[in-house]
Amino acid sequence: MTSEMSANAQSAEHPLVGGVLLPNTTISKASKLISSAPTPGFVRPEINAVSIFDLMMLIESSILYDQIYYLPGNLAASHEELNLRTILADEGILKEAPKKDDHNLIGRSLVASLGTAGDFRSHESDHLMQALRIYAEDDSNRVVGDHSSRRMNLDANFSATGDKEFGINGSGTIGINGFGSDSFGRIEDGRSFDEAARSLIYFLENAGTGEVEGSTSALRVMYYIFASEHYKIPFIAPVAARKMQQRFPNYFKPSARTQIYEAIASALKATVSTVMREFEDSVVYIPPFSALVLDRAAAPEGIPSEIFALRAEYSEFRRRMHDLECARVEARSLNERISILSQIQDLGREVARPFEQTSRMKFDTALRYIPSTIDLAANPTSPTQWAKTLLTMPVDALVNWYRRRPVAKLVSDTRTIGEMSDYGALLAKHFGGDLYAYHLEYILEDLRRLLAEV
């Protein structure tokens, strides 16, 4: 079998390998940030560290991943406001995640799991529990039917008619406002699934809208996490939800993590320390893609064309990375997986060699287990019990789960901002007309912090 035939066979076996799941919020905000043709009523996102971070994540994802997937939703913004998003879709880079009955099952499995939390069970007679039950038990092609005129958004700007997937119709809407807000932090910093669910109840009953501008829905992030596991592709969460993305829904304690590492090591006849390496930061040096795009574009409206030009330049890099990721999924031993990781690092060094200053990419492998969406929707169980389920799996099933863990490629480095003396000038070139110089300094400082925390 030729290498090309082998690669095609691998792609057929793992069709979504090399893809990433990005929220519509990230994609839309990044697109609106550089829009040059605003329509009446257009409101540009505030130019701050978070909005620029969204743009950077979209640029990096466009170069690093074969496909960018999103979950279905109705966008309120017009074609002109979302020019970059439209171009990415037209070029086949941005795609809606596969449908079939997937979204119905994902939503029902999430709400079935939430229904196992103690505080949700205590709301048996409350409208909230009724809404969640409707969501979990509806067997139509929609996730939920028209049970109320008010709704809670699971993604940005969903139809208010209740006939689109992901809508939860119930007592109101959900939206946790702002980056770093105390409200979202109470869910993000939860120490257990029950604690996160308890905080979620408060916001389901009391919070505002789930619109794309200035808000992040915790429930929406939970949905994306379940979808990521279902499709076996990584999910890059919004800034405010990064910690939650790492922990929800299992909140594995250190003792449980150790037991899982030990079980994998035993199954693969390897040492625990070797297994742990798979779940720790593995740094790969890559070109500073965002800086290159911002440097080459003369103005914000030129950013989309420079993204495509750079993507074309690094097509061979993506092809080789894709082949290595497919090989990593197929690896039958831990030593083989470690060898492939070393090859990925070598590939990064190769493409970064011409650059005096580079970016760091890290692999973000969340230790998470969510049962089959079909099984979970039919037989709800609490995530607090899933560690035991994972540890009692037959050896082959445990190894298969481990092999197929989605791995996110994340740019994570203060060097990207801190050591590139011209980065401030690049931001000033594109956004300086709307900002005072001291605002740019604050934005740069916040970007350093955000990138360091990824």
Confidence check: pLDDT of 171 > 60: no
Q: Give the tokens for residue 61.
A: 């994802």
Confidence check: pLDDT of 204 > 70: no
Confidence check: pLDDT of 33 > 80: yes
Give how far the C-alpha of residue 207 lies from the chain's centroid of Cα atoms, to the nearest Å: 23
Q: What is the pLDDT of residue 153?
A: 37
Say which range, 81-85, 111-115, 121-125, 361-365, has the weakest mean pLDDT.
Answer: 121-125
Return the number of other C-beta atoms located less than 10 Å from residue 262's C-beta.
14
Rounded CA separation 314/453 (Å): 27
For 399-439, how does the pLDDT look when each residue is reduced to its tens digit (9 = 90+)?
A: 999 988 888 888 866 555 545 556 778 888 888 776 666 67
pLDDT over 90, % of the chain? 25
Listed residue (369, 408, 389, 378) closest to 226, CA to CA: 369
pLDDT over 70, % of the chain? 69
For 362-408, how does the pLDDT look when each residue is reduced to its tens digit (9 = 90+)?
A: 888 888 999 988 888 888 888 988 988 999 999 999 999 998 888 88
Rounded CA separation 347/451 (Å): 22
Say which range, 144-148, 175-179, 300-304, has the weakest mean pLDDT.
Answer: 144-148
State yes or no: cis peptide before 249, omega within 30 of 0.
yes
State the average pLDDT over residues 315-341: 91
Average pLDDT over all residues of the chain: 75
Contact by Cβ (8 Å): 26, 58: yes
State the average pLDDT over residues 150-160: 32
Q: Averaging pLDDT over each range in 3-17, 167-181, 302-316, 356-370, which range is the top one?
A: 302-316
Please tell me the pTM assigned to this model. 0.82
Q: Which residue has the higher pLDDT, 381 or 450?
A: 381
Q: What is the pLDDT of residue 183?
A: 43
Confidence check: pLDDT of 5 > 50: no
Q: What is the pLDDT of residue 445?
A: 75
Rounded CA separation 311/281 (Å): 25
Q: Which residue has the higher pLDDT, 151 or 446?
A: 446
Confidence check: pLDDT of 4 > 50: no
Q: What is the pLDDT of residue 88?
A: 93
Return the number of other C-beta atoms located less than 10 Å from residue 301's C-beta.
15
Rounded CA separation 396/226 (Å): 23
Say which range, 35-44, 154-163, 204-213, 269-278, has the weakest mean pLDDT.
Answer: 154-163
Q: What is the pLDDT of residue 127?
A: 58
Q: What is the pLDDT of residue 281?
A: 66
Q: How confident is the model at residue 349 (pLDDT cuts 50, 70, 90)?
A: very high
